Amino acid sequence: MNQSILFGDELRWDEQQRCVIFMAQSMGALLECIVPAELLEELAGKPVVEQTEGFSVFNQFRFDLEETAEQLIEDEDYDSQGRVVVNTLN
């Protein structure tokens, strides 16, 4: 685990994009990390239709999701808006 990448505990649900958003800090920069509902549904094996369900699934798989986000940050794999999008687990 890279000690220079830190993840916060706060989660946000974006209803329009249907995703959980969490923040990472890398070398002093704050990075938005996105986990689409599609991945959460795949992990849960059922539909994720609201915030509480999204947060519940995220928290069940938090370690793996953060580990994947960490790898994406290290690889500088950002979307066009500079965000880290976790579409699959490592």
Flag residues of the chain having pLDDT under 70: 1-3
According to the model, what pLDDT value does residue 18 have? 96
C-alpha 16/C-alpha 21 separation (Å) is 12
Q: Is 77 contained in some domain? A: yes
Q: Which string of DSSP letters, residue by residue, matches 9-54?
A: EEEEEETTTTEEEEEEEETTEEEEEEEEHHHHHHHHTS---SHHHH
* Overall number of domains in the chain: 1
Q: Is 90 contained in some domain? A: no
Q: Is 43 contained in some domain? A: yes
Q: Is 56 contained in some domain? A: yes
Would you state the structure tokens that stand for residue 17, as one six-digit string?
Answer: 């994009």
- 33: CATH: 3.30.160.140
Q: What's the pTM value of the predicted model, to 2 decimals? A: 0.93
Question: Domain range for residue 33?
Answer: 5-85
Q: Is 29 contained in some domain? A: yes
